[in-house]
A = this chain, B = another copy of it.
Amino acid sequence: MAETKNIKTLAQKAQKASRQLALLTTAQKNSALKKMAAALRKSKGYLVEENRKDLKAGKAAGLSSALMDRLLLNDKRIKGMIDCLLDTAKLKDPCGEILETFKRPNGLVIKKVRTPIGVVGIIYESRPNVTSDCIGLCLKSGNSVILKGGKEAFYSNRAIYKVLKETLKDASVPTEAIQLIPSTDRKAVTELLKLDEYVDLIVPRGGEGLIRFVAENSRIPVVKHYKGVCHTYVDKDADLKMACTVCVNAKTQRPGVCNAMETMLVHKDVAKAFLPDVIADLRDRGVEVRGCSKTRQIVKGLKAATEKDWSEEYLDLILSVKVVDSLEEAADHINTYGSRHSDAIVTKNKSVAQKFLDSVDAACLYVNASTRFTDGYEFGFGAEVGVSTDKIHVRGPMGLEGLTTYKYAVHGTGQIK
C-alpha cells in the first residue's frame, strides 16, 4: 500500500517536471548531458564498487555466465555509457520541428509541431548501461523518465541514477525529471502500468517473458517487440551468388540478435541450383540446417523442419529452410509465421520486389540486402531506444523521434465558428 502510493507520487513528480523540461532550450539540455558524462567519469570507482555487490549477489544466486557478463560494469563499459551521453548531446533536438503547416480558407494557420511525449517509463532487465542511456535519450527529447530495472542490477542502477540525478542540481534541468523505482518487486511494475494519468508511454526492454507481462498488464501505451523471426526469400529471378552472400550474412554474422535470419524461403525453380551451395557454406560455418521435405530431397542428411520450427526464434546457429512455389506462398508463410520485424527478398525482378514490399506485413522489408541492418544506428538515427514490431506510434528502429509526439498550434486573428 505504501509502495503503491510512493510510485504514484513519483509519477506525479515526473509529470510536473516534464512541463518544465518542455521549456528547456537545446543548449540547456546538451549542457546537462555533458555534465552527466563528466560525473560518470569522476564516479568510476563508486560505480565499480556498487556493481561488485550485484556481481556477488548474482554469483550467489547462480546466474548464468551470459547474465553475469551483461551485469558487469568495467572501465570499457563505463566509457561506453559516457560516450552514449556525449553522442546524445550531439544529436539534433527533435522538439520544436514544424512537421506541417497548412492555411485554411478562414485564415487560420495550423502548424503541426513536434513535442516531447511527457513521461516515459522504461522497464528493463540486467544491463546497467540502459539506466544512463535512457536517462540521456529521454532528457534530449524533453521527456521525464521513470526507470524500473531488474533486481540483479539493483545496486548498479541505483548508483548510476544517484550520480546522474546529483548532477542535475547544478544544471537547469529539474531533478524530478529522472526517477528510479527503488523496488526489486514485480508488483511495482504492475502499479506503474496502471498510472495512465501520469505516464504516457512504456518501453519494455528485455526477454519475451518481461515484455508479455508488461503488454498484458499495461493501461499505458506500450512500444515493444516480442521477438524477431526474420526471413529471406530467394526469388526465381535472384542473383544466386548475391542470395548466398546475403543469406549467410543474415544467419551467421551475429546469430543471437533479433534481426538475424531464422528461416530461408527458396523458390522451387532455383532450389536445385541454389540450395546445395548455400547449405554447404552455412554448414561450414557451423549452422544446423532444418529443411522441409523438398529441401531434404535436394540436400541429403538434413534434419526435418517441423511446424514448430517455422515460428521459432533460434537466436543461434540454426536455420529452417523451405521451398515455396511462388512469391504468394512466400508472403503467406512470412505473414503467418513471422514476427513483423524484418524480412528480405533477393531478386533482380523489380515488379516482384514491389509485390513483396506490398504483400509482407513487417516493419522493415529489404530488397537485395541482409536483414541485419534493422537498427537505429544503421538507419542513421544516431541512437536506438529499441525496435518496435507494433504498428502504432513507431514501427521498426526507434530513435529519438520515437520519444516525441506533436501538437497543433493554430494561429488566428479572432476567427470564430
Asked whether any CB of chain B lies closer than 8 Å to the CB of A378, the reply is yes
Complex interface residues of chain A between 355 and 389 (CB less than 8 A to chain B): 355, 357-359, 361-370, 372-373, 378-380
Distance A367 CA – B113 CA, assembled complex (angstroms): 14
Asked whether any CB of chain B lies closer than 8 Å to the CB of A46, the reply is no
Chain B positions within 8 Å of A196 at CB level = 215
In the complex, the answer to whether A359 meets B19 with C-beta atoms within 8 Å is yes
In the complex, the answer to whether B380 meets A392 with C-beta atoms within 8 Å is no
CB distance from A348 to the nearest CB of B (A): 11
In the complex, the answer to whether A405 meets B417 with C-beta atoms within 8 Å is no
Chain B positions within 8 Å of A405 at CB level = 391-392, 395
In the complex, the answer to whether A368 meets B414 with C-beta atoms within 8 Å is yes
Asked whether any CB of chain B lies closer than 8 Å to the CB of A338, the reply is no
In the complex, the answer to whether B409 meets A249 with C-beta atoms within 8 Å is no
* Partner of A104 from B363, B378, B390, B417 at Cβ < 8 Å: B378
Asked whether any CB of chain B lies closer than 8 Å to the CB of A280, the reply is no
Chain B positions within 8 Å of A104 at CB level = 378-380
* Partner of A410 from B369, B413, B415 at Cβ < 8 Å: B369
Asked whether any CB of chain B lies closer than 8 Å to the CB of A136, the reply is no
Q: Residue of B at shortest CB range from A96?
A: B358
* Partner of A359 from B22, B219, B335, B361 at Cβ < 8 Å: B22
In the complex, the answer to whether B19 meets A369 with C-beta atoms within 8 Å is no
* Partner of A246 from B370, B411, B416 at Cβ < 8 Å: B416
CB distance from A210 to the nearest CB of B (A): 16
In the complex, the answer to whether B410 meets A373 with C-beta atoms within 8 Å is yes
Asked whether any CB of chain B lies closer than 8 Å to the CB of A201, the reply is yes
Q: Residue of B at shortest CB range from A23?
A: B358
Q: Interface size bucket, A side?
A: 35 or more
In the complex, the answer to whether A392 meets B393 with C-beta atoms within 8 Å is yes
In the complex, the answer to whether A239 meets B414 with C-beta atoms within 8 Å is yes
Asked whether any CB of chain B lies closer than 8 Å to the CB of A291, the reply is no
Asked whether any CB of chain B lies closer than 8 Å to the CB of A90, the reply is no
Asked if A246 meets B414 with Cβ closer than 8 Å, knowing A221-B392, A363-B408, A391-B405, the reply is: yes
* Partner of A363 from B249, B369, B395, B407 at Cβ < 8 Å: B407
Complex interface residues of chain A between 229 and 273 (CB less than 8 A to chain B): 239, 242, 245-246, 249-250, 253-254
Q: What 10 pairs across the A-B complex have the smallest Cβ distances?
A: A369-B412, A249-B416, A372-B417, A391-B405, A242-B414, A221-B392, A369-B415, A392-B393, A368-B412, A364-B408
Supplied contacts A104-B379, A253-B417, A362-B407, 11 more A-B pairs, CB within 8 Å = A23-B358, A104-B378, A108-B373, A196-B215, A200-B392, A201-B391, A221-B390, A253-B416, A373-B415, A395-B406, A396-B407
